[in-house]
Amino acid sequence: MKRIFLTASLAAMLTACGGGGSQTTAPTNNPFMTEYTTPFGVPPFDQIRLEHYKPAFMEGMKQETAEVNAIINNTEEPTFENTIAALDQCGKLLRRVSAVFYGQNSANTNDEMQALSRELSPLLSKHSDDINLNPKLFARVKAVYEQRDQLGLNAEQSKLLEETYKGFVRGGANLPEDKQARLRELNNEISMLQLTFGQNMLQETNSFQLVVEKKEDLAGLPESLVANAAATAKERGLDGKWVFTLHNPSVMPFLQYADNRALREQIFNGYINRGNNNNDADNKDVVLKLITARLEKAKIMGYEDYAAFALDDRMAKNSANVYKLLDEVWGPALAQAKRELNDIQAEIKKDGQSFEAEGWDWRYYFEKAKHAKYAIDENEIRPYLQLDSVRQGAFYVANRLYGITFTRLNDIPLPHPDAQAFECKDKDGTSLGVLYMDFFPRASKRGGAWCGTYRSQTYADGKRVGPVVTVVCNFTQPSAGQPALLSVDEAKTLFHEFGHALHNFFKDTHYYGVSGVPRDFVELPSQVMEHWVLEPEVLKVYAKHYQTGVVMPQSLVEKITESDKYGQGFATVEYLAASYLDMDFHVLKEIPANMDVMQFEAETLGKRGLLKQIPSRYRTTYFNHTMGGGYTAGYYSYLWAEVLEADAFDAYKETGDIFNQDVAGKFRRYILTPGGIDDAMQMYINFRGKEPGTDALLRNRGLK
């Protein structure tokens, strides 16, 4: 049975404070304890303090326990309504506080919140297991499940019953008592290790800084990056110097443009060795303990390895199907990466150098190779990709496809002062929910980009209640006197996360237990949105120079389109390397107590011929997608979903209209609205009329 508050896993998937986390009595006027009276019922972020969380968690667990006991002690025969539906509605307070706490712990954390998350982890793990392993509760669920064919349930109710029963079984309800006891220990251990991994990664990312003292060492860097580095230095008491960090908007353009090779090497090594520095934030031992605990859990549950357990309820079904897809793309991608490496070596030779390229050379010389081939420079593009304009471009695409609109909300509590809020309305004017957008990096925010919810879509008194959705990114900060200007990759990221938001807004399910989709389907709605970013018809609408307002010239649009596939060798190989690494750790059937996880990484990727110049997109000790719990044995999901979304976008192109209303209507009806009511592949077939192949994916990546 899936409990939505599962600590570190939730923080990995989603995502003010002050004071300590040790209070156990509720402060007066705890905002979690009553219904929110804010506009749209959003969390009252301006009223929430750190001391409110723990009492709300404790009361939430207490209330849910009482609600579960009421189901167990019901003297009436178990029915769908008095057992399955009643259980689905349990834990309202716990759900409310969990959504806010873990959303904020990802986007606006501090030492006190992290300490509280560690304190709460074992409590929530025990609470979840107390429900999942309750024999009397499971007996009632099982009694309803066994008569499912005679109950006359609709499709949504049938799916909820199936998922509830399966959730209990996967939670260990059928295990003997001794194995249940060990499962409890493992669940607690896994939860704490995942939490520790993420906190160590954040610490390692924030602790590194590259301090540049000589102006000549800034050669090649864009002015905006230099200005931001100077501002960072000033914030850190290093006025007159320049500080570069391991946050992507700092480290990636530094590797792309810095002429100083020694400094590129320094920041590159800082980036790829996070969690591998033999200090108090080292993650090697955490990883070993984590994969060992996961394997033991899988075996207790009757599976030969953890991947088999994790994949059992996903579209892929088993590891053989995952490896088949990865292997199908690996060969063409590696061949393309080798061709790109030849281009890089040619640029090094043009530079009058004879050294063999290393990891810290790839982005720098690739940028030169791309410019030589296509006469294009990312800094030529950025002035046309002002953040506000790109955001409006995403809104424009959604309006053209679905008729929905987004209106800025000014008088509403915000999860952080940097955030913006919008109301999403359907084409008939009905409110679909609230969207928060929070774009820039800070020390209190974990890296990457994600979409989460502060309230999931639900029903109350027979009426649909829209979600409160948050899109969180780490884009390049605006330099003094300028707006935020994005790279093409950042623009794609905005559209990607916005696609997740649309999935949340259009979802229409009556039960929490059927609101989710399999991990390897969830990226379809987000990845398909990326296709509209560089469509000329869309660029003409939003890609306007921030100073002159002039639309991006057609010549530049053509350069972007022509060069878009160049570099897919590197991008695909680094992604596949991480996908292999994730799977290889979790198909292990035995794990030596003294296993060297970094040696394992080197061997498992080396045997496939990974180029030394291309590190895995996420190396073992900072691979939070898998070690943090959100995409465990599931990082392949982006590629699996890409098979779907590449084929899905073909449905638009085949009509000659990228905004075809019939196709968009079917996509909304069959993909975005049903939640997890239908089988995932059947949902896709309902939309497309057939299963997808990999041809569109390989073509889109320029690998065919």
Q: Classify burial at 251, counting beta carbons within 10 Å of its beta carbon; exposed 0-12, middle 13-18, buried 19 or more.
A: buried
| Residue 258 placed within a domain | yes
Tell me: do 15 and 94 sit in the same domain: yes
Tell me: do 170 and 212 sit in the same domain: no
Mean pLDDT across the chain: 94
Find the mean pLDDT for residues 348-353. Answer: 96
- Show the domain range for 268: 208-272
At residue 28 the predicted structure's pLDDT band, cuts being 50, 70 and 90, is low
Final residue in a domain of this structure, among 230, 249, 272: 272
Tell me: do 124 and 36 sit in the same domain: yes
pLDDT of residue 480: 78
Tell me: do 22 and 168 sit in the same domain: yes
Q: Classify burial at 519, counting beta carbons within 10 Å of its beta carbon; exposed 0-12, middle 13-18, buried 19 or more.
A: buried
Final residue in a domain of this structure, among 272, 298, 327: 272
| Residue 25 placed within a domain | yes
417 residue type, one letter: P
- How many structural domains compose the chain? 2
Indicate if the pLDDT at residue 377 is higher than 90: no
Tell me: do 121 and 252 sit in the same domain: no
CATH number for the domain spanning 164: value is 1.10.1370.40
Find the mean pLDDT for residues 541-559. Answer: 94
Q: Which of 214, 281, 224 is nearest to 250 (CA)?
A: 224
Please give the angle made by the CA atoms of 574, 575 and 578, to the nearest 5 degrees.
90
pLDDT of residue 69: 98
| Residue 616 placed within a domain | no
Q: Tell me the Cα Rg of the chain.
A: 25
| Residue 338 placed within a domain | no
| Residue 356 placed within a domain | no
Find the mean pLDDT for residues 164-185. Answer: 97
Find the mean pLDDT for residues 658-681. Answer: 97
Tell me: do 160 and 213 sit in the same domain: no
Find the mean pLDDT for residues 336-360. Answer: 97
What's the start-to-end Cα distance of the chain, in Å?
43
Question: Do 117 and 105 meet the contact criterion of CB atoms below 8 Å apart?
Answer: yes
Tell me: do 128 and 253 sit in the same domain: no
**Annotation marks residue 497 as catalytic:** yes
| Residue 319 placed within a domain | no
Indicate if the pLDDT at residue 13 is higher than 90: no
Find the mean pLDDT for residues 254-273. Answer: 98
Distance between CA 547 and CA 246 in Å, rounded? 30
pLDDT of residue 372: 94
355 residue type, one letter: F
Q: How many other CB atoms sit within 10 Å of the CB of residue 94?
A: 26
Tell me: do 131 and 253 sit in the same domain: no
Range of lowest pLDDT (5-19, 238-252, 302-316, 368-382): 5-19
CA dist list (Å): 496 to 333, 377, 493: 23, 23, 5
Question: Do 573 and 333 meet the contact criterion of CB atoms below 8 Å apart?
Answer: yes
Could you tell me the pTM of the whole model? 0.93
pLDDT per residue as tens digits for the range 689-700: 999 999 999 998
At residue 509 the predicted structure's pLDDT band, cuts being 50, 70 and 90, is very high
Contacts of 378 by beta carbon, 8 Å cutoff, 6+ apart: 256, 367, 487, 488
Q: How many other CB atoms sit within 10 Å of the CB of residue 296?
A: 18
At residue 529 the predicted structure's pLDDT band, cuts being 50, 70 and 90, is very high
Q: How many other CB atoms sit within 10 Å of the CB of residue 177?
A: 9
Provide the H-helix boundaries in 471-615: 488-506, 524-529, 536-542, 554-563, 568-586, 597-606
Instruction: Tell me phi and psi for residue 510, to 5 degrees.
Output: -90, -10
pLDDT of residue 37: 96
Tell me: do 99 and 31 sit in the same domain: yes
CA dist list (Å): 100 to 82, 437, 521, 578: 29, 15, 25, 30
Tell me: do 72 and 118 sit in the same domain: yes
Final residue in a domain of this structure, among 226, 256, 272: 272
Say what percent of the chain tops pLDDT 70: 96
Indicate if the pLDDT at residue 1 is higher than 90: no
| Residue 78 placed within a domain | yes
287 residue type, one letter: V
Tell me: do 255 and 139 sit in the same domain: no
pLDDT of residue 21: 36
pLDDT per residue as tens digits for the range 76-101: 999 999 999 999 999 999 999 999 99
pLDDT of residue 504: 98
What sign does the CA torsion over 360, 362, 365, 366 have?
Answer: negative
Residue with tokens 């999931």: 456
Q: What share of the chain is helix, strand, coil (3-state, %, to 5)?
A: 60, 5, 35
Q: Which of 52, 188, 192, 197 is nearest to 127 (CA)?
A: 188
pLDDT of residue 378: 87
Of the residues 497, 523, 574, 645, which is catalytic? 497
| Residue 216 placed within a domain | yes
Tell me: do 22 and 155 sit in the same domain: yes
Q: Which of 15, 583, 598 is nearest to 314 (CA)?
A: 583
Question: Do 491 and 385 meet the contact criterion of CB atoms below 8 Å apart?
Answer: yes
